[in-house]
């Protein structure tokens, strides 16, 4: 199972990468805006900065919503670094763009996926990753994890090469259930990954070990 960190914050990306378990980074326009990154050149420079930190793939999202615009933008993003995966929204022109990028050898992440039908389209177009959003489905009273399970099952049925990248993962239970279901990748904020470290018995046990060692060694 791969861990991606879902942020454009360079400190968080550095910390996640330094932990030694990071397989990738996903960003989106909202996450870039949150870091105050705006304007064409600044956006490109920020992606370069992320690629300089990690030896892992980095999803960079197109803003255009028409085929020509997405192709132009995606090609420019892909030129930044071999680590870039072009993130494309699940809309009609997005599906066509994914098909074209696949033919051009550019890896893609199909984002804003909320149904199994959309996931099938993304896979048939040749997306490298499909990003179903768990938390946002939960937010409106649907079961995001059920969708992950459905997509994993369908992809297994047909041997689709597209990796299921569970997105909008908000807490550790989401992550653990994705692991049980067999999602290929989860992308989540850094705190969800570091939360996996926590267990009170680990803290208690370590304190005891250190106290006993101190007693025995004066």
For 49, the enclosing helix (H) or strand (E) is helix 40-53
Q: Please work out the total of residues on this chain that contact ligand G3P, with binding judged by CB under 6 A.
A: 10
DSSP assignment string, 11-66 = HHHHHHHHTT---EEE--HHHHHHTT--SHHHHHHHHHHHHHH-SSEEEEE----S
What gap in Å lies between CA 151 and CA 120, rounded to an integer? Answer: 8
What gap in Å lies between CA 27 and CA 61, rounded to an integer? Answer: 7
**Nearest distance in Å: CB 214, ligand G3P:** 44
Catalytic residue among 2, 83, 87, 99: 87
Q: Which of 5, 6, 113, 123 binds ligand G3P (CB under 6 A)?
A: 6
**Nearest distance in Å: CB 51, ligand G3P:** 18
**For strand 129-132 and strand 163-166, is the pairing parallel, antiparallel, or unpaired?**
parallel
What gap in Å lies between CA 89 and CA 108, rounded to an integer? Answer: 10
**Nearest distance in Å: CB 75, ligand G3P:** 22
Report whether 181 contacts 151 (CB < 8 A): no
- If one asks whether residue 3 binds ligand G3P (CB under 6 A), the answer comes out as no
Chain residues 40-99 in contact with ligand G3P, contact rule CB under 6 A? none
**Nearest distance in Å: CB 82, ligand G3P:** 22
**Nearest distance in Å: CB 167, ligand G3P:** 4
- Can you say how many angstroms the Cα of residue 161 is from the centroid of all Cα atoms in its chain? 17
Cβ closest to ligand G3P, residue 83 vs residue 87: 87
Stretch that binds ligand G3P, among 35-43, 50-58, 141-149, 166-174 (CB under 6 A): 166-174
Structure tokens at 210: 């250190």
87 is catalytic: yes
- If one asks whether residue 133 binds ligand G3P (CB under 6 A), the answer comes out as yes
- Can you say how many angstroms the Cα of residue 23 is from the centroid of all Cα atoms in its chain? 9
Stretch that binds ligand G3P, among 16-24, 68-76, 163-171, 199-207 (CB under 6 A): 163-171
Q: Which of 3, 4, 23, 28 binds ligand G3P (CB under 6 A)?
A: 28
- If one asks whether residue 128 binds ligand G3P (CB under 6 A), the answer comes out as no
Coil, helix or strand for 41?
helix
Residues 6 or more apart whose CB falls under 8 angstroms from that of 195 comprise 171, 172
The set of catalytic residues is 87
Q: Which residues bind ligand G3P (CB under 6 A)?
A: 6, 26, 28, 133, 135-136, 167-168, 170, 187
């Amino acid at each position: 199972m791969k861990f991606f960190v879902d942020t454009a914050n360079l400190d968080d990306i550095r910390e996640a990468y330094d932990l030694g378990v990071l397989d990738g980074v996903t960003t989106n326009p909202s996450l870039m805006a949150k870091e105050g990154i705006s304007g064409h050149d600044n956006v490109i420079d920020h992606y370069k900065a992320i690629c300089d930190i990690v030896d892992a793939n980095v999803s960079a999202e197109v803003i255009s919503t028409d085929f020509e615009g997405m192709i132009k933008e995606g090609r420019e993003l892909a030129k930044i670094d071999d680590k870039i995966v072009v993130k494309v929204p699940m809309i009609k022109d997005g599906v066509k763009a994914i098909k074209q990028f696949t033919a051009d050898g550019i890896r893609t992440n199909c984002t804003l996926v909320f149904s199994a039908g959309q996931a099938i389209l993304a896979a048939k177009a040749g997306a490298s990753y499909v990003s179903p959003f768990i938390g946002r489905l939960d937010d409106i009273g649907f079961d995001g994890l059920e969708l992950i399970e459905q997509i994993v099952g369908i992809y297994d049925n047909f041997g689709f090469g597209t990796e299921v990248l569970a997105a909008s993962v908000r807490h550790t239970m989401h992550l653990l259930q994705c692991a049980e279901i067999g999602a290929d990748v989860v992308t989540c904020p850094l705190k969800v990954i570091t939360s996996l470290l926590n267990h009170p018995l680990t803290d208690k046990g370590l304190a005891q070990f250190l106290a006993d060692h101190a007693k025995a060694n004066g």
